A and B are shown apart, each in its own frame.
Chain A
Amino acid sequence: MKKLKYITYTGIAIIAFLMVIISACTKLKDTSYNQLISSEFTPTSSDLPALTGAPYVDWRGLLLQWNTLYRAQEVSGDEMLTPARPNGWVDGGVYRRIHEHKWTTDDDIVVNVWTRAYQGITNCNRIIYQVQTKSIPVAPADTTALIAEMKLLRASYYWVLCDMYGNVPIVEKYDVPAGYLPTQNTRKQVYDFIVKEILANYPKVSKENNQKTYGKFNKWAGLTLLAKMYLNAEVYSGTPAYDKCKAICDTIINATGTSKIALESTQKNVFVTENQNSKEIILALPFDSKYVAGWNDFDVHMQTLEPENQATYNLLSSPWGGVCAIPQFINTFDTTDARYVDNYIKYQQYAANGDKLIASMGDFTGKPLSYRNYVPGVDFSNEVDGFRLGKFEIAMGATNRLSNDWPLFRYADVLMMKAECLLRTGDATGAAVLVTQVRQRNFKSNPSKATVTSSDLLKGSGYDYGLQNHLAPFTHEGGADIQYGRFLDELGLEFNQEARRRPDMIRFGMFTKKSWLSHSPNGDYRALFPIPRTEIAKNSNLVQNTGY
């Protein structure tokens, strides 16, 4: 038994020894070297801008990253398309489906817009919650304004959802119980919620319009959003609110003396690379290629230019050659309109050193790279086909991202919203004055062309609608039957490439009625996007939109 004891003692000694070592070595590594663990992070006031700025970031991704709001609103309309190119742009037919209104419930535009808008909403809810619970140190004097700003920002994300999907859940809280599934609201409820939120909160935010409020929701941005809601009230809620819209527009217009909001002398000024602090911009999404550096953050130039154009702008990457204008739309321009000149890249292309560029792909290989106002169809096109998008200035030596700020709301839109309200409420003359005002800067050498009369505005559209691609003889439906169609044309001339064509077309009742290029109507239900199939999969409270 002594032997046994020896074993026992040795064992105990060893175990004790091991325990000492082991107890020191059961601690898990808990150091994070490039992220902060929430529970261990106590923000200081110097962290405030970084914390409260975060909910704005989501807007950029929502608008401009690959297959998001920009494509949903523009490529589905009658202004632009992404046809198959010699170097691709088929990508499983996603762009074609947008043009043909055949998107599926799985398509990127459907999924991404939902995801990113709600990401913005949740971020707003989070900041509101953190401010209210004082887990981030906002000075008491600033609390009200900050919460109001976040609520306006949140309302802007809901605006996108209301416009795209209509019937979406309203979630206002961040601290929901585990397993909480939001319930669906009707489009009207969403509309009412947005309006209520803006009305309650725009008086609480800054009415300054300066560097401090640039890129943030101030009073004027809040009011512009409200005007946009009222303008589309009939679509969103079933009841028009043009009078309310006009009143809000008037509030903005009448305050321009103090807010210093004004039309730029040329439209181009709004879209140049260094357009920050443009007096026409009411709410900007600021971009800078140095700081906004995600791969697809703002790459309209990469998507529209052909590879050869790299030499035109000395770009750091070869462009991919894709999206272009629909010829029928281009034909609605007066060719002396400065917007026709500035907004599109046309005809012979040159290198920065003045050399003529030569096409290198497809049937036009070896021929001059000269963009023509012709596109065979969404299924096929050559390098030279279609005018390219040039509204946003492309800086020499640009990276794959542009540095132009995106004017989400601008003053010309306020004027045009008011004009539309006047037109729709019987004051065509008043409307004509405003439309003329917006047009004037574009016809400086030919001022008479700027003038639009009340009778002009009461005409239909001049757009030569119809199926016009290479697969069949062209049809000509025209636009004469569109009420206030001429006004719709004006919206296109002024606001093309600004991610808003679809709602305008819907408001004028023709989004699902007309044909253009390879597109023919595919059912009125296509005026709303479907709720993503993946979202319904996750939340059994959601009911799919009619028709999908």
Chain B
Amino acid sequence: MKKKLDLWVHSNPTLKKLIMELKIAILIIVVGVSNVFATPTYSQIAKVSLDMKNRSLEQVMDEIENQSEFYFIFNQKQIDVNRVVDIQADNKLITDILPELFKGTNVNYVVLDRKILLTTDPVEKNLLAIASATEPQEKQITGIVTGKDGTPMPGVNVVITGTTRGTLTDMAGKYSIEVPQGSKSLTFSFTGMLPQEISIGSLTQINVTMVESTIGLEEVVVVGYGTMKKGDVTSSVASVKSDNFIKGSVTDAGQLIQGKVSGLTIISPSGDPTSSTQILLRGNTSLMGANQNPLVLIDGIPGDLKLIAPQDIESIDVLKDGSAAAIYGTRGTNGVIFITTKRASENNISTVEYNTYFSTQIIARKLNLSTAADFRAQIKDGFRTTQMPDNGASTDWLKEITRKPLIQDHNLTFRGGNNKTNFLVNLNYNNTQGLFLKSYNQVFSGHIDLNHSMFNNKLKINVNLFSSSAKWNGFNSWDYTQATRQNPTSPVKNPDGTWFQELTKFEYQNPVSDIYESDGQANNIVGRYKAAVIYTPITDLKLSGVFSYGKTTQENGYSETKQNVSTLRDNRNGYANTGGLESIDRLAELTAEYSKSINKHNFTILGGYSYQENDYNDYYMENWDFPTDKFGYNDIGLGQAISSGNYDNLIRSSRTATNLVGFFGRLTYNYAEKYLIMASLRSEEASQLWGTKNPWGTFPAVSVGWRISKENFMSGQTLFNDLKLRAGYGVTGSQPSDLFRGVGIIGYQVNNVSQYVLSNGNWIKTLFPTQNANPDLKWEEKRETDIGLDFSMLNDRISGSIDYYNRQIHNLLWPFSVPSPPNLYNSTLANVGVMENKGLEIMLNFVPVKTNDIQWNTSVSYSTNTNKLVSLSNDIYKLSTDYIQIGYIMPPIQTPSHLLRVGGPVGDFYGYKVIDIGNDPTDVANYGKWVYEGADGQPVKYSDYKHSFEDRKVLGNGLPKFYLAWNNNFRYKNWDLNITQRGAFKFQIANLQRLFLENPTESQYNVLTTAYNNIYGKTQLTAPVEFNSYYVENGDYWKIDNITLGYNLNKTGIKYIQSLRLYVSVLNAFILTGYKGIDPEVSLLNGITSAQSGVASVPTKGLDPGMDQASKYPTTRTFTIGLNVTF
């Protein structure tokens, strides 16, 4: 101990400051425990016996340390420890021994509790006074601490500056403190507020108004397994507080921060009330790994964005770069999103908050499908063949299946308790009607947070219970597709009240009938229990254990009546299915953290262990041939399809269990908050890698920061309030998503279909290897470098950060093509290839106007990303072609949509390039058909075009080159106005709506009004539906996404009501784009694979961006009115 201290002291000779640092550290620990000072200090009790002659000073000090809990702190330059001394003491107080020991030297000493400080510098008198606490001359200071608005603030720390001595304000904001003579000032501090130091002088009453810390450098941000002051963070972390969230009827937690964090792409591709947002952070990082999405931690427990009611969220923090996320090892590879729910606060007086809103939606843009009038004109113009006759009616099919929905949300938050025990209860009810008939999502959720401190605050317990119960009926995209296909001159019903149907047409059915002649519902219950225990056995050491158990159960049922096409056309005689699932997550995380500040050296060591497991099972059964429609899906056994024995596989179930075990450690150190360093290491094993040669992965990270603004040479300037340069490198990873890919597996099924063989007159299920085993399978590794600059200038009027990152994903998991034979299957999941993501993120915040009445905050964020496949082979796995084909376009196209070439970017559309249309009526084979650009760049007539792979070209790229967002926040007196705008630029979209619906040869269905327009002003199209460059459009857009106008009343004048806020909001307000489809903000995940039975399917997750599906849910515009009341 002493030796170590020597070293630290050696590098920092100013003892006085060392003492200060120590005190601050102690202060932090003993905050709120003022009665500590009433007990006699250690030095007044502890006694030591010494009988030492001709010994070095060091030996004597060692002996004192051995006998007691005292230890010495000193600077080796000042103190000669080799000085020979004689000392004799019999059970004496240290204060008696020290004068004798240093008699005749220039050494001054201070005894501070158990620490003995030695110095040759003069020791300030007041410090000596505090240390020995022998001078009882004290005076009492009292006062009241209030917030900006005059309300009393309980729980504020009041400390005699430079000492550990302090107290807390009471519920009325009042405090009282005994101050020793000579004390200079009091420091008032409170989380989220600027600390204030007030000179005492002759005052006996000091009243203080606390001010919120605006810069946020003292603000605490969430990092892995703990929190940090923002100013000390050395990696790219973004934090969004609830004030800054998108207001109104949001889909899920993801939408709250849409456009608020640079580099984080959040897409809400569907207005379906059961859908969720899609998130992509800094580009694609994994092709086939288990971790395709950012790790979402809700109060430290893994979850998903949909789980928690948006109203229940206090803040969202995002760890963007690998050096920060590496502490989470594998799961953090796509970044980490911390969702902090509203917490019980020990400082709060009891409050009740009620928040509510009501919303409705309209379709913002819809397809310009031919109306009945258009249709009749098309018939008159001879464009329509007989296959879609005028049936005499005028029907807007989209209108027939939609409605004006009502969305309501009610949220109640209770907070109460004191600094020992406190609680929060949050109750939320959300009922979202979908725009489409019968679609809805109704959720009731509750959340209880309970904190208790005991044993002098040495033990803190947090219990967090969360539960939600939801039921829903989703939007059926097939009904929407049918609505786009229907003849607008057809009636919905026949005169006799039955549904109008033309069921012999290919894939053509009345969507209104589909909706009314079916019934479905899903019920989902989530329960999560979390307990956290934090034990502080000694100063600076914190042991914590977090345990959670979460369980999701879901059941769903769906049925179709005998008036549904499943009977009228498909002879099912009534149809129903039911299914369910149960997923159980268990988590245990144990951490030990030791923090210490010595002089200007501040360090924290963290070590921990994490265990996570999931047990999942589901079942599904379907049946048909029911005697009645009466029971829907509630009596599945009533159907006779199962009992007929003619069908296999109508009942199925499955189960999987996975776990993940990790050990981790982290060291953070800073010198004078000027030079910062953080290093972490996580070692992890995953059950997906069971049976491989090495299931363990190691994920190191290191990051450094330099607070330039703290340097002496910056002390004179007033331009920068803060300036920090940081750099980090971190490795994260991903295990495969499937279990047991490393070992030989034999099974009875391929793609859930049993492989039977007829054996001696009986059909038996065969048993066969289901995969090529790869014992070399290992972790995918993402190596990320991040260089960033954080700054704040001109009195915090301008602040921001700039980050450059480079992510190299090594050992990419990919179903690698292997020769068969010798392999049984022609692909093996292997770690092959390297992918790279590079990008720049800039976030700038301005406060152009700031007066008492008016404030304008504005922020701009910019991010860019380039995503490249660097290689796709290694020593074992070699591919002579340098590309893979990705994506799939639905029938009648059935071709891949994208190409991923080694050295090329992710997201390239690959297809035929149109340069003209055949316009010679005598050339029947080519009239009205595409003229394509051949491989040699020359035009090729349609009849000569081979449509081969070699004929394809890159037609564009579906990933935006950059994103821009601009948030504005105006406040005028009690009014506030928020405007969120965002856009994506330089990318293309495959407009499949036009591809399928703008082709006049598809005349068995309705088409867009533009279908009969001449192509290139020449002639109508006569070629069949074909994916080519004509349908690849620029997708650049700018959305004025969210506009919220609010009125706040802080002093309502009404008894019991403390504050009140009323707001109106519109979501997806305006869009500026040249794109011809419904919405250029298209799904990042296409989710359609070319899976054929017997052929290995390749997931396209994220690798085929920019596909605007024909059945896309129309974009909605949402109007909301909301009210928040605090009682």
Contact = CB atoms under 8 A, between A and B. Distances in A.
Contact of A3 (B71, B826, B946): B71
B825 interface: yes
Interface stretch (A22-30, A240-248, A450-458): A22-30
Interface stretch (A140-148, A174-182, A194-202, A441-449): A174-182
The prevalent SS among residues of B at the interface is loop
Contact of A32 (B506, B740, B748): B740
Interface stretch (B206-214, B332-340, B874-882, B1105-1113): B874-882
Nearest to B611: A25
A214 B891 contact: no
A254 interface: no
B824 A119 contact: yes
Interface stretch (A310-318, A333-341, A414-422, A505-513): A310-318
A93 interface: yes
Given A25-B588, A288-B763, A36 B747 contact: yes
Interface stretch (A256-264, A460-468, A530-538): A530-538
Contacts of B891: 88, 91
Contacts of B687: 28-30
Pairs A-B, 9 closest by C-beta atoms: A88-B892, A365-B387, A38-B744, A53-B757, A294-B1093, A54-B768, A286-B758, A291-B756, A1-B65
A379 B691 CA distance: 53
A90 B743 CA distance: 41
A546 interface: no
Interface string B899-941: 0000000000000000000000000110000000000000000
B1054 to A, nearest CB: 54
B1092 A296 contact: yes
B690 A28 contact: yes
B767 A51 contact: yes
Interface in B56-94: 62, 65-69, 71
A366 B654 contact: no
A275 to B, nearest CB: 13
A3 B539 CA distance: 11
Nearest to A94: B894
Given A28-B689, A51-B768, A56-B757, 4 more contacts: A1-B66, A35-B746, A92-B894, A122-B821
B925 A179 contact: no
Contacts of A89: 892
B385 interface: yes
Interface in B10-27: none
A296 B826 CA distance: 20
Nearest to A215: B758
Contacts of A112: 1095
B946 A102 contact: yes
B646 to A, nearest CB: 6
A118 B925 contact: no
B39 interface: no
B879 A537 contact: yes
Contacts of B1095: 112, 115
A92 B895 contact: yes
Contacts of A1: 1, 62, 65-66, 69, 71
Given A122-B822, A379-B925, A28 B609 contact: no
A441 B648 CA distance: 37
A537 B746 CA distance: 28
B394 interface: no
Interface in A173-220: 173-174, 176, 179-182, 211-212, 214-215
A139 interface: no
Nearest to A59: B757
Contact of B655 (A34, A290, A310, A363): A34
A211 B762 CA distance: 9
24 contacts: A4-B1, A28-B659, A29-B658, A36-B745, A37-B744, A47-B767, A49-B759, A50-B767, A53-B764, A54-B757, A57-B756, A91-B894, A118-B826, A119-B825, A121-B821, A126-B824, A171-B822, A212-B760, A212-B761, A293-B649, A294-B1093, A399-B647, A537-B880, A538-B818
Interface residues of A, number: 119
A280 interface: no
A265 to B, nearest CB: 24
Nearest to B504: A308
Nearest to B661: A26
A317 B570 contact: yes
Contacts of A35: 740, 745-747, 770
Nearest to A66: B1092
B1104 to A, nearest CB: 16
A65 B1092 contact: yes
A37 B538 contact: no
A239 interface: no
Given A92-B947, A294-B1093, A360-B502, A176 B822 contact: yes
A68 B859 CA distance: 58
Contacts of A56: 757, 766
Interface string A5-43: 011001000100010011001101111111111110101
Contacts of B824: 119, 122-123, 126
Contacts of A361: 387, 505-506, 1004
A215 B763 CA distance: 11
Given A37-B745, A84-B1024, A397-B571, A363 B385 contact: yes
Contacts of A523: none
Contacts of A540: 880
In this complex, which of B611, B657, B760 has the most chain A Cβ atoms within 10 angstroms of its Cβ? B760
A91 B891 CA distance: 7
Contact of A310 (B569, B686, B1092): B569
A92 B756 CA distance: 33
A302 to B, nearest CB: 12
Contacts of B538: 3, 6-7, 10
B134 interface: no
A119 B824 CA distance: 6
Contact of B1024 (A90, A104, A121, A176): A90
Contacts of A33: 617, 654-657
A65 B760 contact: no
Contact of B756 (A39, A292, A307, A535): A292
Interface in B651-696: 654-659, 661, 663, 685-687, 689-691, 695
B386 interface: yes
Interface in A389-433: 397, 399
Contacts of A50: 748, 764-767
B716 interface: no
Nearest to B649: A293
B1093 A18 contact: no
A37 B691 contact: yes
Nearest to B1001: A86
Contacts of A43: 767
B932 to A, nearest CB: 12
B895 A126 contact: no
Contact of A539 (B507, B745, B770, B819): B819
A55 B876 CA distance: 28
Nearest to B923: A471
Nearest to A171: B821
Nearest to B624: A316
Contacts of B504: 307-308, 310-311, 357-358, 360
Contacts of B104: none
Contacts of B758: 214-215, 276, 286, 288
Contacts of B530: none
Given A29-B690, A35-B747, A318 B766 contact: no
A291 B754 contact: yes
B737 interface: no
A106 interface: yes
Contacts of A471: 924-925, 943
Nearest to A181: B819
Contacts of A535: 819
A291 B764 CA distance: 9
B745 A38 contact: yes
